[in-house]
Amino acid sequence: MGTGYRRVLLKLSGEALMGSMGYGIDPEVVNSIASEVKEVVATGVQLAIVVGGGNIFRGMKAASAGMDRATADYIGMIATVMNAMTLQESLERIGVQTRLQTAIAMQEVAEPYIRRKAIRHLELGRVVIFGAGSGNPFFTTDTTAALRAAEIDAEVIFKATKVDGVYDCDPHTNSNAKRYKSLTYAHVLNNELRVMDSTAIALCKENNIPILVFDLNTRGNIHRAVMGESIGTIVGGSCEIS
């Protein structure tokens, strides 16, 4: 049991909002994430969230089908805003104060990304949601999470996923697969483990930001993670099997 974190960046993939549906947003899943976020913020931790868009549109996939990559990526970034607005609405409905900042200006629906303002919102206890990725094509929302975490001086990135950590091989196909308790950035990069894309990992390595990978589907996990409980896999330490 650790001492808990003060400022956290939570990365929610688009797929996390999709639940078991094949596409789009499952309102029940979003509401459940929102209620967990409410509990966590009530403890006083400052929380910023980067939202992905893979449940709606992925630039790379559209590009491989022939679309211009940069255009496809801009569409992907706009898709993340739909997710971000949905999450914002869900949080506000249960009384959580939020601000949505987008890296592509959409002043009718969101504030533009302004680093100092984002930090101020966090200090005032507001959940800051970052939409539209980094605003640049050829990047991902994982890389955005690493970038924003460094910018706002977050102590850790929470990468909430569908698995309960990082394994040495695929646990679905190999019953002897072992889960890591902790891992070095170098191990993740050298072995191409799918924690986050390599640009994101490199950015975290350079800025010494640990990444905690854990299962979002287990209720209460965001809270456990914030409290510093030993769940999932932490990238940024030494290599240890749990």
Handedness of CA 187, 223, 34, 152 (dihedral sign): negative
- What is the CB neighbour count within 10 angstroms for residue 239? 13
Nearer to ligand UDP, 37 or 77 (CB): 77
Going by C-alpha positions, the residue among 171, 142, 166 that lies closest to residue 235 is 166
String of contacts with ligand UDP for each residue 48-77, x by CB under 6 A: ----xxx---xxx-----------xx--xx
**Residue number, 142 or 164, with CB nearest to ligand UDP:** 142
CB of 22 to ligand UDP, least distance (A): 14
Q: Is 134 annotated for ligand binding? A: yes
Residue 165 engages ligand UDP in binding (rule: CB under 6 A): no
Query: Phi, psi (5° rounding) for residue 97?
Result: -75, 130
The phi-psi region of residue 98 (left if phi > 0; otherwise alpha if psi is between -120 and 50; otherwise beta) is beta
Annotated binding residue 23: no
- Phi and psi at residue 80, in whole multiples of 5°? -65, -30
Tell me which stretch binds ligand UDP (CB under 6 A): 38-46, 111-119, 140-148, 183-191. Answer: 140-148
Q: Which residues are CB-contacts of 175 (< 8 A; sequence separation ≥ 6)?
A: none
Q: With respect to ligand UDP, which residue has the nearer C-beta, 73 or 164?
A: 73
**Rounded distance, CA 20 to CA 185, Å?**
31
Decide whether 127 or 160 has the Cβ nearer to ligand UDP. 160
* Strand 240-241, strand 180-183: pairing: antiparallel
For the chain, the distance separating the N- and C-terminal CA atoms, rounded to the nearest angstrom, is 15
CB of 234 to ligand UDP, least distance (A): 20
Other beta carbons less than 10 A from residue 202's beta carbon: 16
With CB under 6 A as the contact rule, which of the stretches 47-55, 182-190, 211-219, 234-242 interacts with ligand UDP? 47-55
158 is in an annotated binding site: no
Looking at the Cβ atoms of 88 and 141, the one nearer to ligand UDP is 141
| Residue 140 counted as an annotated binding residue | yes
Decide whether 39 or 206 has the Cβ nearer to ligand UDP: 206
Residues 218/2/157/208 CA torsion (nearest 10 deg): -150
Pick the binder of ligand UDP from 14, 131, 232, 236 (CB under 6 A): 14
Which parts of this chain interact with ligand UDP (CB under 6 A)? 13-15, 52-54, 58-60, 72-73, 76-77, 79-80, 133-134, 136-137, 139-142, 144
| Residue set of the binding site for ATP | 11-14, 54, 58, 161, 167, 170
